[in-house]
């Protein structure tokens, strides 16, 4: 990869910067690269030549271009306008303000980032990092959470002093940071005064089953509840949130009870149980899933009824009685429909 980058930037000054350098030094997998160079568009197009990667402008303001490969890996080429020291001085934390020359040589580390890596310390590059870009408030919490680092005293003070700015960044950027937090990260955000301004609360976190805590959507709904709709969430996440927030405790643990619960919560029945704090029912739901019939006993067009909600009601009734074990054949289903229709 480095050889291709060297060829792409030519003889111009260029450095690998940011999180890629940090992760290299920590021995973590490096997925995305950020290269600061003099002619980013030319370098990006040359780097992508002969591949099926997409090349596009990432930021007109910052002169950044991205090469995006299938599978999600990206290489960004950003504009090196002045010196590398000036570039690093505009970054957030010292551990992200280290540069590695593309052609080899000593790391450029004007703010002591390598020493902070060794100390597992998160320290601001300057006192203005949070006013310059408030999304860094949540990023501080996320990096503590992901890396197992700790904010140094002065940087923690800065976070607390600027906590009221946490609502200013675009919702997409805020959501991207929140999606990567684990329970400890949300607790830390609360302690630093960052969670309440965003509408989050830890109240429900103590009641849910945290075996699903590695699933970002689950934690977001747990922490933000109905307020999650104020974030720019996808339609799928909106449906997930609605399912969990409307889920009610099954009235019992019979096959009929579980069927009714699953009918209102699938494909997220297990997550709904975790949200309600009912892990004892996981196994029953998993067993019910394994025994789900491959085909319905009757299709809607076999009921002899005009299109409408009555067809759905009858199909639901057939499925429930089948799950409860009161019917098992097509003939049973037809008799049930006839009985139901006669009674109505």
| For range 38-66, the mean pLDDT | 88
Q: Does residue 15 sit in helix, strand or coil? A: strand
pLDDT digits (tens, 9 = 90+) for 28-44: 998 889 999 999 999 99
| pLDDT computed for residue 340 by the predictor | 83
Architecture of domain 1-114: 2-Layer Sandwich (3.30)
Cα distance between residue 125 and residue 132, in whole Å: 12
- Cα distances (angstroms) measured from residue 160 to each of 192, 219, 293: 6, 23, 55
pLDDT digits (tens, 9 = 90+) for 311-336: 999 999 999 999 999 999 999 999 99
Domain boundaries defined on the chain? 1-114, 242-290, 300-343
Q: Is the pLDDT reported for residue 59 higher than 80?
A: no
| 42-46, 67-71, 93-97, 260-264: least confidently modelled range | 67-71
- DSSP secondary structure string, 16-32? EETHHHHHHHHT-----
pLDDT digits (tens, 9 = 90+) for 221-253: 999 999 999 999 999 999 999 999 999 999 888
Q: Give the number of other Cβ atoms within 10 Å of residue 135's Cβ.
A: 19
Q: Give the number of other Cβ atoms within 10 Å of residue 56's Cβ.
A: 9
Name, in order, each residue with C-beta under 8 angstroms of 136's C-beta and a sequence gap of 6 or more: 92, 129, 130
Cα distance between residue 184 and residue 205, in whole Å: 11
The predicted model scores a pTM of 0.86
């Amino acid at each position: 990869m480095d050889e291709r980058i060297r060829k792409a930037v030519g003889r111009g000054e260029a450095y690998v910067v940011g999180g890629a350098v940090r992760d290299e030094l920590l021995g973590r997998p490096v997925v995305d690269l950020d290269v600061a160079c003099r002619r980013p568009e030319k370098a990006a197009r040359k780097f992508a030549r002969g591949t099926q990667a997409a090349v596009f402008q990432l930021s007109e303001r910052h002169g950044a271009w991205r090469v995006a490969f299938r599978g999600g890996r990206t290489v960004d080429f950003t504009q090196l306008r002045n010196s590398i020291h000036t570039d690093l001085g505009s970054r957030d934390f010292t551990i992200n303000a280290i540069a590695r020359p593309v052609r080899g040589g000593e790391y450029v580390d004007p703010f002591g980032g390598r020493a902070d890596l060794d100390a597992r310390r998160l320290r601001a590059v300057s006192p203005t990092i949070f006013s310059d870009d408030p999304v860094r408030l949540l990023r501080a919490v996320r990096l503590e959470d992901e890396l197992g680092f700790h904010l140094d005293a002065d940087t923690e003070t800065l976070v607390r002093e600027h906590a009221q700015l946490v609502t200013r960044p675009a919702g997409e950027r805020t959501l991207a940071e929140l999606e990567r937090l684990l329970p400890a990260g949300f607790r830390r955000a609360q302690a630093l005064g960052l969670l309440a301004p965003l509408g989050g609360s830890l109240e429900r976190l103590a009641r849910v089953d945290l075996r699903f805590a590695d699933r970002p959507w689950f934690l977001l709904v747990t922490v933000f509840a109905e307020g999650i709709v104020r974030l720019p969430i996808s339609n799928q996440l909106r449906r997930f949130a609605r399912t969990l927030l409307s889920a009610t405790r099954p009235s019992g643990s019979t096959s009929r009870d579980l069927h009714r619960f699953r009918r209102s919560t699938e494909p997220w029945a297990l997550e709904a149980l975790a949200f309600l704090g009912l892990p004892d029912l996981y196994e029953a739901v998993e067993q019910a899933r394994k025994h789900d019939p491959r085909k319905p006993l009757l299709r809607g067009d076999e009921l002899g009824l005009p299109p409408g909600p009555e067809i759905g009601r009858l199909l639901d009734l057939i499925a429930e009685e089948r799950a409860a074990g009161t019917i098992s054949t097509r003939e049973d289903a037809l008799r049930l429909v006839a009985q139901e229709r006669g009674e109505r």
